[in-house]
Amino acid sequence: MAELLIEDHGPVRVLTMNRPEKRNALSFALTEALLEGLRAADTDERVASIVLTGAGPAFCAGADLAEFKDLTPANAPLVDHRAELTMQLHGIFSRLSKPVVTAINGAAMGGGAGLALAGDVGVMAATAKLGYPEVKHGIVAAIVMANLVRNVGRKAAFELVATGEPIDAACALALGLINRVAAPERLLPDACELAEKFAGVERAAMAATKALFYRVLDLPFEQALDAGRDVNKRMRAFRDAKG
């Protein structure tokens, strides 16, 4: 059975994590499949936007704990490889030229919560929950913390990672972690509808908008203005060249 299901709906590519019996936990294989699937969608001219969701009742339970038994100090190369893969996965979304909508169909925990927030926009089922329970297991919500603190205020972010308590969709919306809440039966249609709106935007304009958005996110104000000026001039020249 494929770890990742790939289906095109016109210009929208839907990627579905497909380990429902494991609540779509992020194994080595699924992580690698996601990286490959996202890169392939970004380079496919037929695809204009991407939706990421999970099969079964969960979005993603986070790391596959069954693989942790091999991640020991005695197996440092494997530990390093896993950490590198995880970092690549959570970092790739902002580097893609095409927008990604996460359709959070069920529980999104730990690394799964990180994936839910890594997309450009998020639609969450009213029945879903999101949380970072790592601290309850004596570990740290480490790599996923980078996206969390960029999506929510410092106080809320600290409470999430320091208590490990999950939040529901209404709370996630109030905190600005997601864009919309949908009835479970409407989740994927609503996410695809939003992705289709993004797909209707001129490709070059969307790619430039996304690249600039993530570039200015961490820049000082004056440098952000400079970056915006440069893109403004480049896009005006692009439009003039198109006639």
Structure tokens of 69?
């038994």
Is 134 catalytic? The answer is yes
Among candidate residues 134, 185, 193, 202, the one labeled active-site is: 134
Active-site residue set:
134
